[in-house]
Amino acid sequence: MSRIRRIRAEATAGWHSFLRRRTAVFFTFFFPVILVVIFGALVRTQPTEGGLFAEPAAYYIPGYLATVVLFTPLSRVGSEVARYRDGNRFEKLATTPLTRAEWLLAQTLVNIAIIGLASLLILGLVVAITAATLPVTIELLWLIPLIVLGVILFCGVGAILGRLSDSQDGAVAASNTIALPLLFLSDTFIPLELLPTWFIPAIELSPLTYFSRGVRAVTFPAAGDTLFPSIAILAGLAGVIFAIGAYAIPQTD
């Protein structure tokens, strides 16, 4: 069996496994929808009053997309690696031609499909129930590589967390512990001017920062963020973290 066929077979199995878990399907799409409804429709932005949510509605699109680009790969891949370890499934996997990198790539492809659908839902909902507008230009297509690179990066992080955690519950807890502060402290919902000056350099250490800035450069150009430096840094980080994540996956346990 060729490499492409091995990856396709594993990705197909992973996709059907996701669809069978109805609770996972529901909350994968429900959580970001609730976030958009609460922050976008109920709290609403107040561009003239200062403080939190004082920016135009389109400014927060990166934060909404980050909910699925960040949380979904971390929890799904982290718990999947932990589940495979608990069931000694990596020992069985080691007897097949499928390599660790191919297995992680297959899981990543499944996450790209899931998060791509969720992102379309989020963008449609943001436009429908908030005052946000998207610039309908060819540059909007840059969202595709930004989302793909973000998923690749955080699937790699999820694989590392799954290796370090001692159970599925531990992997999910670790992913939430990391994801929640990153979601709000990565130039997403909180503008830099509202943060202490001493803390701003730490924002540059978050890989989600570059996803956020890249998305904002496309969806809200008025913010002044630049696309190509952000996407270049994101691509470099995605490649490195994915390679580390593939290496972290155990062959036996």
Q: Which domain holds residue 172?
A: 3-248
Domain assignment present for 253: no
Asked whether residue 211 is domain-assigned, the answer is: yes
Please report whether residue 244 resides in a domain: yes
Q: Are 210 and 150 in contact (CB under 8 A)?
A: no
Helices 61-86 and 143-164 pack at an angle, to 10 degrees, of 40
The answer to whether residue 89 is domain-embedded is: yes
Any domain includes 208 = yes
pLDDT band at 235 (very low <50, low <70, confident <90, very high): very high
How far, in Å, CA of 176 to CA of 182, rounded?
Answer: 10
Domain count, the chain: 1
In a domain, 38, yes or no: yes
Convert the pLDDT of each residue in 39-76 to its tens digit.
Answer: 766 665 555 555 566 778 889 899 999 999 999 999 99
Q: Decide if 188 is inside a domain.
A: yes
Contacts of 162 (CB under 8 A, 6+ apart): 77, 78, 79, 80, 81, 82, 84, 85, 171, 248, 249
pLDDT tens across 108-133, in order?
Answer: 999 999 999 999 999 998 888 887 78
